[in-house]
Structure 1
Amino acid sequence: MSQPTPSLQSPTAWAVLLLQVLSTLAFAWFGARMPFDNRLDRFAVKDRDGEQRHQLFQKHFGHTDTALISLEFHRAPEQGAAAAEELFAPLRKVPGVARLITLVDVAALAGEDAPDNLPYPFPFWQPEAGRATALVLLDDAVLQDTVVAALYRECEALMREHPVQAVLAGEPVVNYHLNLGALEVKYRFFPLLIALALVLLGVMFRDLKVLAVTGLSIGSALAWTTGIMALLGERMNLVTTLIPALVFVLALAMQVHNLIAMAMTGSMDEGLRHKLRPNFLVTLTTSLGFASLTTSQVLPIVTMGRYMALGIWLVFLWSHLTHLGLSRLIGLAPRASAGTFWLRFADHGLYQRWLRIPAVMVLPFLIIAAAVWLVFRLPTESNGLNYFDADHPVRVQTAYLQNHVTGGSHVELLIPLPREEDENLLAHLAAIRAFERQLLTLDGVRHAFSLQQFIAVPLAVDDLALADLPAEDALAVVGAVEEQAATLGSLWRRDGWYRIQVLVDSLDRPAYLALGDAVKQAALDQGVQGALVQTGPLDRIVEVQAYLLSSLHTSMSLTVAAVLVILLLIFRLSAPLLALILPNIFPLGCAVVAMVVFDIPMSISTVMVFSIIFGIAVDDTVHLLHTYLSRGEADFRERWRQTLARDGAAVSLTTLVLTCGFAILLLSSFAPTRQFGLLMGVGMVSALVGDVLFLPFLLRWHRKKGE
């Protein structure tokens, strides 16, 4: 390719560049400030039973985010509970802490001279260990991460100023660290991935101009996509955090195809014209595939589908407009010599013999069939703690809490109560009390908070129980406790509902479902009247996980079907159906097999990798098919040989650069990030294998069949 003269005097090129740079900077400014939010509310499954149960709970009791703070004195003071209360005082003032319940709050129910051996519902104070624990209810109106970060700062201050060890745990704390894991990708690994990919690209082309043009093109697509998301009020989470990575992958692939085409044709304009149609086809099919995700009932998946459908069009836009601005101004003239490698590869005797052996096609079918069988048997990961390494602070803190105090998660139970004047109210409360006692014997259950647990505290001063009192006196005690500790009372009985908060160990989906069955059986055993409602964080996590895994097959089927229909219409049956299906499904099968080999469970993050792999596979296949069908050679061998010479370099270069780039993610301490990098590498390499080894066999078979 002859070196063009830079068009520094071109007003059109300067206008395009100025518009691109200014708009990119503006959108990048907004996109960089988009907050992260992994709260369960972001993953709500619309119109499902679990979400309806949660809405019922929210309507009557509001606060659902609960954390635990445990203070362990290095040397237990004589007045341990009082000393602990002084240390808890600044934590009560943290913005976003709605309530902080300690031993003092509960002991106040029994009066000032309450003995230490009362039946408190929770080990607020463990004198033998010098350990005090508080229940922290977070205000839903304040961003959860902000509150948890402030609590961490206060705990660190306490440890600096006093001889105590502070431990913070619970679902909000796990969510906080999930956000940190996502931020690690955004601020550490993703920039490294981009930098490494661009450096490799620059080295391969041996041209800094290529690096500048590619960087600006990809940066514009990324900035516009994330900036528009931020302007429309979106927030990043474990699902939508994949959007920048996917935009980067698709933008790099499209730009590499453009650069190779320019090098092969010897002209910027000719190369862009040659790639305009296949790039448009890739954009159309990919956007339709992602648009199918908007049929989901999980908001983050809908968000991902919506903005990726937009993002791929922005990739298409800037992959071409950048060459009308910066490329013309600097006189871009990419050079590529990889075409000769692919000519030699196509002529190699082993490759030619491979294409003549029908039995080789058994391999992709076996892998795909095995993947279909395995995908329904892969373990699922519904416990967010397992996203972290065993020595990660959040797992260490949760293990400390579960070993010494209580469970690290909780379940909410709601039981309908009769009216105050109903003569059966006390009998109903007695049945619930027996139910609570049985609850505490179930596997995984550690403690329970409820109104009757608190009522038992003042009654125990006189060695009484609610059932020992006449009906009128019993109702008076219930009212007195609620009036004396309004904050406690309103938390546990409201609007005709009786609430029990059950503190449990961190459970996976099977253990949680087993607990749910045991809870229902306990309610039946004790004659609890009314329909018991079970909800809480674990309930919602399990439902979201189940829905995501069940909808994976539906969403992927819709995506694949939509893309294949479009491809069939575009290529007008010039290509065999198997040539459109097999090379694009084969990488998905390889990814499933890799999950089995490397013991990677199904989770929210791994589910979304399949969409990315499929997008890359379709990209490569469309470019190869377009070039193959547009060539006029009568001989299949020569036709495919020239196809590889023209597009093999772009496909292999994209695979190499991105695989090396995503390998950086294997260094992360966050399991979903490592798994994402590994599966992306497997998917990209297998997509190349499918296109180079299996696609030509199918095209050859189709040609012979036609003859």
Structure 2
Amino acid sequence: MQWFLERHRFSFVVVVALFTALTGYFCLQLKIDKANRSMQADDAAQDVVEEEFHELFREKDFLFIAVTMDDILGEDGRTFLRDLVDRFSEVKGVNKVVSLVERDFEVSSMDEGLLISNDGETAGLRVLLDESMDDGDALSDLVETVNQIVAEVDTPETRIAVTGLPLQKYSSGVLVRKDQKIFAPLSMLVLGIVLLLITRRFSGMLFPLLVSAITICWTLGIYSMLGHTLNMITSLLPPVIMTLSVATTIHIYLDWLRNDEMKKFKRIHDAVRALYRPCLFASTTTAIGFLSLTLSPTPAVRLFGMFAALGVAISYFLGVFGLSVGLTFLTPPPPEKHALKDTGPFSHMLDFAARIPVKHPILVITLSVILTAIGIYGMRQIETDTDLLSFLGKKSELVQDTMYIEDNLTGTSTIELLISRVDGEPISSFSEIEKIEAFETEVHDLDYVRNTISITDFLAALPFPEGMPRPPLSQVLPMIDLSNYLSSDETKVRLTVQTDSVGTARGKAIVEGIRDAAKSELGEDYEVKETGSYYRIITEATHLVASQLKSFAIAIVLILISIGIVFRSPSYIFLAIIPNVVPLFLTGAIMAFFGIALSTGTAMIASIAIGIAVDDTIHYLSAYRKYRDSTHGDAIQKTTHSTGFALVSTTIALSLGFWVAVFGSFQPTIYFALLSGLTMWFALICDLLILPAFLTFHSKLPWVKTHIGVEQ
């Protein structure tokens, strides 16, 4: 290290500056995923059903617009609606506008509650979009044009509300851009203040912030080079990377500051030599936690895990080599001018924390077991629920418009059903139609279902002569246009189910109710396939949580194995389990107590938190093994006292850095930040109290020798 610092520090600075300039350029080119395509999980089977539905009925996403005005079915109201439909129809990307206009304002029973409210004061427009809306820029242009039209025609006498999944995607993109303008500067400000208070030196603030800024630049630059775009999940990368990148820097800087060596290069070498291995192990476990997210079926989550792990690796490299080079430009402070003293209230607090687990290990262990039991019980009460609208907050205009439409017209979430005979034969008789009608009726009666539409509704509206037998179905079907609800070969019937905008927990209950109704009314002779944007969200939420639990299990196994390999002691694996799972269980209990559901954001906490929480354990155990020639009590006292300040300092910096995201625009982002920071504090307490208690208990076992770190 000394040879490198003395001969190549200027070359290192030049290389870092050039690569930072290159990645900085690509950072400026980083775009937002306006269509949120990366939030859609990989599901080949569901993709096939969606493609089949699209090929049959040529429908994909849609916007729903409600218009309220006095006498909307009067002459002025009809003129207003005709003009509005004409303008929407001309918007690029709009395939068709379904409204009362195309029916010359003749209201049928099917239209009530859908295209016209029951009180006759609100009209509905269903704006069907074409395939080009899969492109984020095209979707953005369409939504902005629709919003512009609404703004131009809106008057004090009218109320126009717009909703739909495409609008939710667009709104998410807008909020991501807004958050990006807040997160990075605020994280930088918070970390700067914290670092200045911890180190009481300008260099103690400057170097960690430089490492953080360069790490973000490199990580996001590479992210942009590879053609990726930011979404509501990956928008967390800047604050997360900025926060995590200071950990290695703080540990090495504080050790350098405490050192009494006055030779510049020797002092840096000693600090790095003492901590490069623990910091490497800690960075590795953190990266493992992030990399476990690559098992997720959701591309956005995989990208977040992959590039967060890359950021951790870059921050370790810069924290060791970059900080070392930076410190060569400083004059080492003499011992009497050190800002950090091992005296005062903080030192007394660490002494007190060290005595408790040594004097009362059984009490501490018993309390940890009780807390674990409480946490496990609490975690079992957590509900799995993803509610896209609640993510935006009740004050969001989109949320208010959605609620207005549901209060006055119909549900805005849609599940599409494809009904067919198992033998592949056409639907050819009224007896089959009656079965489908009975199925539709049972589905319509499910909780949160607002409306259902199928060919049975169109057939029921036909004026068959009373007392006369109905003609064969084959003669009736050509009489009406059923192209939107019956396939051309008459083998597949479409049933549209419109529901309230409820979370995936209630949505899952709706799907289960649909399947039960299919079994009871259609039997085994018919097949029902579910599709639609809302159904996709329901299935993805279920798969996401399952995949995250799998990721967490893999992460914790790999991390514990790594601890065993690093410390060459199987017993250390057991010693590390409790202090690192208790924080997660406590966080789970808090989620259950406050009704925080497992969702897109919160499901990632466990895998990430275990990787971060174990960092303190590694640093504590590494310091503990240094005092192998001391008695156990002295070893705990020295370890807690020597590492405590650095552990508390990094926890303050990391947690406050994460908590910056509570100012974000998405509810899952806020919960993710808040709970992750809270887990870090739980982990710190466990590592300063529970881990020493288990070490004390372990040292008293008959097969463990008196001196620590050596087992028989």
Q: TM-score range by the shorter chain?
A: 0.7 to 0.9
* Alignment-derived partner of residue 201 in structure 1: 195
The answer as to 2:693 corresponding to 1:697 is yes
Aligned with 2:127: secondary structure?
Answer: strand
* Alignment-derived partner of residue 649 in structure 1: 645
Change (3 A) 1:325 1:456: farther
> Aligned pair count?
681
Moved more, 544-553 or 508-517: 508-517
The answer as to 2:281 corresponding to 1:281 is yes
Aligned with 2:601: secondary structure?
Answer: helix
Moved more, 21-30 or 378-387: 21-30
**1:64, distance to aligned residue in structure 2 (A):** 3.1
TM-score, normalised to structure 2's length? 0.85
Aligned with 2:96: secondary structure?
Answer: strand
**1:419, distance to aligned residue in structure 2 (A):** 11
Aligned with 1:532: secondary structure?
Answer: strand
**1:127, distance to aligned residue in structure 2 (A):** 9.0
**1:549, distance to aligned residue in structure 2 (A):** 2.5
Change (3 A) 1:23 1:335: farther
Deviation per residue, 1:564-609 (Å, 9 max, x gap): 1111011001863333222221221221122133321221211112
* Alignment-derived partner of residue 364 in structure 1: 368
**1:668, distance to aligned residue in structure 2 (A):** 5.0
Change (3 A) 1:519 1:17: closer
Aligned with 2:359: secondary structure?
Answer: coil
- Contact 2:150/2:160 (<8 A) preserved: yes
**1:410, distance to aligned residue in structure 2 (A):** 0.9
**1:90, distance to aligned residue in structure 2 (A):** 2.1
Measure the CA separation in 1 of the matches of 2:535 and 2:63: 17
Moved more, 316-325 or 496-505: 316-325
- Contact 1:410/1:536 (<8 A) preserved: yes
Moved more, 594-603 or 685-694: 594-603
Change (3 A) 1:521 1:448: same
364, 376, 390: which is aligned to 1:386?
390
* Alignment-derived partner of residue 379 in structure 2: 375
Change (3 A) 1:369 1:398: same
**1:84, distance to aligned residue in structure 2 (A):** 0.7
The answer as to 2:95 corresponding to 1:98 is yes
Structure 2's unaligned 5+ residue stretches are: 261-266, 706-712
Measure the CA separation in 1 of the matches of 2:674 and 2:101: 51
Change (3 A) 1:420 1:83: farther
Moved more, 265-274 or 605-614: 265-274
Deviation per residue, 1:188-215 (Å, 9 max, x gap): 2453133211222123323333333222
* Alignment-derived partner of residue 263 in structure 2: none
549, 569, 572: which is aligned to 2:545?
549
* Alignment-derived partner of residue 313 in structure 1: 313
2:235 counterpart letter in structure 1: T
Deviation per residue, 1:269-312 (Å, 9 max, x gap): 32122221112212333333433333333333333333233222
**1:25, distance to aligned residue in structure 2 (A):** 1.7
Measure the CA separation in 2 of the matches of 1:374 and 1:446: 34
- Contact 2:351/2:641 (<8 A) preserved: no
Deviation per residue, 1:331-361 (Å, 9 max, x gap): 686955154456433434x741442112211
Quote the sequence identity (%): 24
Aligned with 2:75: secondary structure?
Answer: coil
- Contact 1:590/1:682 (<8 A) preserved: no
* Alignment-derived partner of residue 128 in structure 2: 137
1:208-223 correspondence runs (5 A): 208-223=202-217
Measure the CA separation in 2 of the matches of 1:701 and 1:33: 54
* Alignment-derived partner of residue 27 in structure 2: 28
**1:667, distance to aligned residue in structure 2 (A):** 4.7
492, 510, 514: which is aligned to 1:515?
510
Moved more, 164-173 or 302-311: 302-311
Moved more, 334-343 or 132-141: 334-343
Moved more, 652-661 or 553-562: 652-661
**1:103, distance to aligned residue in structure 2 (A):** 1.6
Measure the CA separation in 1 of the matches of 2:443 and 2:661: 44
Aligned with 2:452: secondary structure?
Answer: strand
**1:693, distance to aligned residue in structure 2 (A):** 1.1
Measure the CA separation in 1 of the matches of 2:496 and 2:469: 22
- Contact 1:81/1:125 (<8 A) preserved: no
Aligned with 2:85: secondary structure?
Answer: helix
Change (3 A) 1:463 1:652: farther
- Contact 2:286/2:611 (<8 A) preserved: yes
- Contact 1:96/1:142 (<8 A) preserved: no
**1:92, distance to aligned residue in structure 2 (A):** 2.4
Measure the CA separation in 2 of the matches of 1:56 and 1:85: 33
1:588 counterpart letter in structure 2: L
Measure the CA separation in 2 of the matches of 1:400 and 1:132: 12
* Alignment-derived partner of residue 268 in structure 1: 268
Change (3 A) 1:61 1:263: farther
Aligned with 1:563: secondary structure?
Answer: helix
**1:257, distance to aligned residue in structure 2 (A):** 1.0
Measure the CA separation in 1 of the matches of 2:426 and 2:531: 27
- Contact 1:339/1:649 (<8 A) preserved: no
Measure the CA separation in 2 of the matches of 1:242 and 1:672: 11
**1:506, distance to aligned residue in structure 2 (A):** 2.0
Deviation per residue, 1:397-430 (Å, 9 max, x gap): 2221111000021110101279999682565445
Aligned with 1:133: secondary structure?
Answer: strand
1:445 counterpart letter in structure 2: V
625, 630, 636: which is aligned to 1:629?
625
Measure the CA separation in 1 of the matches of 2:506 and 2:134: 32
Structure 1's unaligned 5+ residue stretches are: 1-5, 483-488
- Contact 2:34/2:169 (<8 A) preserved: no
1:300 counterpart letter in structure 2: A
Aligned with 2:111: secondary structure?
Answer: coil
Aligned with 1:387: secondary structure?
Answer: helix
**1:83, distance to aligned residue in structure 2 (A):** 2.1
Change (3 A) 1:36 1:280: farther
- Contact 1:663/1:681 (<8 A) preserved: yes
* Alignment-derived partner of residue 44 in structure 1: 41
Measure the CA separation in 1 of the matches of 2:465 and 2:212: 73
1:22 counterpart letter in structure 2: A
Measure the CA separation in 1 of the matches of 2:178 and 2:465: 55
Measure the CA separation in 2 of the matches of 1:522 and 1:635: 70
Aligned with 1:123: secondary structure?
Answer: coil
- Contact 2:428/2:474 (<8 A) preserved: no
- Contact 1:343/1:644 (<8 A) preserved: no
- Contact 1:209/1:332 (<8 A) preserved: no
* Alignment-derived partner of residue 619 in structure 1: 615
Aligned with 1:379: secondary structure?
Answer: coil
CA root-mean-square deviation: 3.5
Measure the CA separation in 2 of the matches of 1:124 and 1:668: 36
Measure the CA separation in 2 of the matches of 1:328 and 1:125: 75
- Contact 1:81/1:132 (<8 A) preserved: no
- Contact 2:288/2:611 (<8 A) preserved: no
Aligned with 1:531: secondary structure?
Answer: strand
Deviation per residue, 1:188-243 (Å, 9 max, x gap): 24531332112221233233333332222112222222222232233333433333
Change (3 A) 1:280 1:132: same
- Contact 1:246/1:612 (<8 A) preserved: no
**1:657, distance to aligned residue in structure 2 (A):** 2.6
Measure the CA separation in 2 of the matches of 1:305 and 1:623: 23
1:120 counterpart letter in structure 2: D
**1:134, distance to aligned residue in structure 2 (A):** 0.8
Change (3 A) 1:634 1:347: same
Change (3 A) 1:148 1:443: same
TM-score, normalised to structure 1's length? 0.86
Measure the CA separation in 1 of the matches of 2:347 and 2:106: 89
**1:163, distance to aligned residue in structure 2 (A):** 4.2
Measure the CA separation in 1 of the matches of 2:375 and 2:542: 19
352, 355, 365: which is aligned to 2:355?
352
Aligned with 1:534: secondary structure?
Answer: strand
- Contact 2:438/2:521 (<8 A) preserved: yes
Change (3 A) 1:154 1:199: farther
* Alignment-derived partner of residue 562 in structure 1: 558
- Contact 1:413/1:499 (<8 A) preserved: yes
